Structure 1
Amino acid sequence: MVAIPDPKYMSPQEYLEWEEKQPIKYEYINGEVFARPEQNLTHNYIIGNLITALKNHLRGGACRVYAIDVKLGVSENVSFHYPDVTVTCDERDRKARKIIYHPCLIVEVLSPSTESFDRGKKFKQYRRISTLREYVLIGAEQMSVEVFRINDRGIWELYTYAEGDEVYLSSVDFRCAIALLYEDVVLESEEEES
């Protein structure tokens, strides 16, 4: 994540008004604004594969799947993000036009430039969302999926998946082979071997 040059504190309302006029997307955390990095083809394919599978699974139900350019608001306007994939089953989000506030599932595809932010500061913000049940990190350099799932005691537990595994997302009762997420994807490790 890249902070804007010469940052000045922005209120949530100032950010929302300012960002609408910008040619690229920016995320907002406690008054600071960060440019959203561009996605590569690997990133895009993984997101597309997951969106397609989730949309097919959830079709006809109360849940909606959103990708990349949908803004997510966290905890009383403390921060705004653009997750790679967001699922909400909450009636309050049904009429949303610009911002989703009540997701049950958030997915980020990791890249070297965003991985530490996605694992740290961003996940810390996401944990403030009372409706969030799972946070998923998908590797873009190797076949790996990490699912952080909140248990009945409010503790986040980690479930990891690798090549040959079936990924399970309990928040939307979804299962798929990990290979489906990586269909038609050429990983960096495979490129180096060729």
Structure 2
Amino acid sequence: MTKDLEKQEKKVRKTEGQIEAIVKVAQRLFEKKGYEQVGMREISAAANKSPMQLYRLGLDKQDLLAEVIIRVNAQQIKHIQAFSQTQKQTATQFIEAYLLDLYKQDITIKSIRKEGAAFGWKWSEKYETLIIEQLMQIIQPISDALLHEKFDGIQARCFGIWSLYYVGYRNAVMNNGNAQSCLEAIKPSLSLLLRK
């Protein structure tokens, strides 16, 4: 490896480390105060940087929120419970348990999920694409369970289930509901989506 290449790789790692630290600061501030109440000056000050340094790193407030959501989703993806064909659960039982687990995870990060839902329309197409890719990974176990039981219209059912998921999650956000109450709120509609 040439010295120039080593130097370049070291610079990339340093930049990635700086971005990671700034994203953590932004997440903490967004969770505490809300997206609209936090400015780039406050983020940069909390990260011990100038606003210009953040912009030179290619970061703006919308991108920082998207970066936070990407990291939150990545953590959720790490803990995904894959569907196994050897399970003794039906697709319905698996999907209900899977959604319940997702509710539990999302309720612990309710404040940042709320900010992402409210202001996600502001981030760029690049981030929208990355977040949709993550969503597809999160939905995959549901798709696998439906495929195993030979459901038709799997993609439409998955999108319907995911839409219902957010309807149930509103219970947590608006009414301080717990994971079980979120799931109970959508069960009647979920049963319709899980009919063959």
Name the structure with the higher helix share.
2
- Select the structure that is richer in strand: 1
After TM superposition, the score normalised by the length of structure 2 is 0.28
Where relative contact order (Cα < 8 A, 6+ residues apart) is larger, the structure is 2
